[in-house]
Amino acid sequence: MKRYWSIAIAAALMVAAVIVIGHAIGAGERDARTPAAASIERPLPILTEAGVFERSSKGASLKDVKPGPGQPERHLPAYYARRSYPGGPPAIPHDLVDDQSMGGKSCLACHLDGGWAPKFNAFTPVTPHPELINCRSCHVHPENKSSFQPTTFQPAQTAAVPKGAIPGAPPAIPHELDMRSNCIACHGGPAAPVEIRTTHPERSNCRQCHVTGARPFAAFTREGGQ
C-alpha cells in the first residue's frame, strides 16, 4: 500500500513540475516576435469528478421548486426514449428555434438554467456541459420517424433506479459519469424525471454519500491476512 502512495506522490510532483516547466518550454519556443498571450491557469481536471460541484450553488434555490398544478412532470421512460442507449446524447424533441445559430445563442438561452417553458408545456432540462456550445454536433433533431433500413441494435441495459444497501442508506450511482458528472443538472429541479429527482438538492457534495456502484469487482480480500 505504501508503495502506491509514494508513486502517487511522485506522480503529483511530476505533474506539478510539468505544468511549470511546460509553461517555460511554451514561452521559449514562440516566434521571437510573438509575445506570449496571457498565460492561463490550467488546473488538472479529472473528467468524471470535474462537474460534481458545478451548479451546487443553484441547488439550494431548487429546494422548494416543484411543478405546479397542471405542469406535467417528466418520467424516466421519456428520458430514455430520447437516447439510442443509456449515456447516448439525447435527440432534440422539439422544433428548432433557429436552425442556423450556434447553441450558445439559441439552445443555451433555455437549457443553461432551465425553467418553465409555456410553449412546450414542460420544464426545460438543464445541460450538464454548458461549456460546449456546438450543441447540434451531438444532439440532432428528428425530421420524421421514417426508417431507411430496420436495425437490430440492442442498446445497453438501462440501469435500475438503485436502492440503498440497507434501509435509509444512500443509493449508489448506477451509471457512467463521463459528460454527466454534474449531478444537479439531471437530478435537481422540476425538469428532473420524478424517479431520479433528488429530495435534497441543497446538499451540494453529492458524492460524499453517493458512490459509483454496481462494479463487479472481485470480492475484497486481505493480502497476507491470517
Q: How far is the CB of 207 from another protein (least distance, A)?
A: 15
164 binds another protein (CB under 8 A): no
Q: How far is the CB of 63 from another protein (least distance, A)?
A: 22
Neighbour tally for 132: CB within 10 Å: 14
Q: How far is the CB of 11 from another protein (least distance, A)?
A: 8
95 binds another protein (CB under 8 A): no
* Among residues 69, 95, 144, 218, the one that binds another protein under rule CB under 8 A: 144
* Among residues 171, 174, 203, 210, the one that binds another protein under rule CB under 8 A: 174
138 binds another protein (CB under 8 A): yes
* Among residues 2, 6, 68, 151, the one that binds another protein under rule CB under 8 A: 151
Bridge partners for 123 per DSSP: 116
Report how far apart, in Å, the C-alpha atoms of 98 and of each of 85, 141, 200 are: 27, 12, 36
The amino acid at 193: P
Of 81 and 169, CB closest to another protein: 81
Q: How far is the CB of 132 from another protein (least distance, A)?
A: 6
Which x/- pattern over 64-93 shows residues binding another protein (rule: CB under 8 A)?
--------------------xxxxxx-x--
Bridge partners for 32 per DSSP: none
Q: What whole-number distance in Å separates Cα of residue 50 and Cα of residue 42?
A: 13
Nearest one of 124, 120, 121, 102 to 111, comparing CA atoms: 124
Q: How far is the CB of 193 from another protein (least distance, A)?
A: 18
Nearest one of 106, 113, 109 to 128, comparing CA atoms: 113
* Among residues 100, 199, 221, 226, the one that binds another protein under rule CB under 8 A: 100
* Among residues 4, 5, 153, 220, the one that binds another protein under rule CB under 8 A: 153
Q: How far is the CB of 68 from another protein (least distance, A)?
A: 28
Nearest one of 159, 142, 127 to 54, comparing CA atoms: 127
7 binds another protein (CB under 8 A): no
In which element (H, E) is residue 122 found?
A: strand 122-124
The amino acid at 109: A
Q: Which three cell numbers stand for residue 93?
A: 424533441
Do the beta carbons of residue 186 and residue 128 sit within 8 Å? yes
* Among residues 3, 6, 41, 68, the one that binds another protein under rule CB under 8 A: 41
* Among residues 6, 64, 70, 157, the one that binds another protein under rule CB under 8 A: 157
Q: What whole-number distance in Å separates Cα of residue 170 and Cα of residue 180?
A: 19
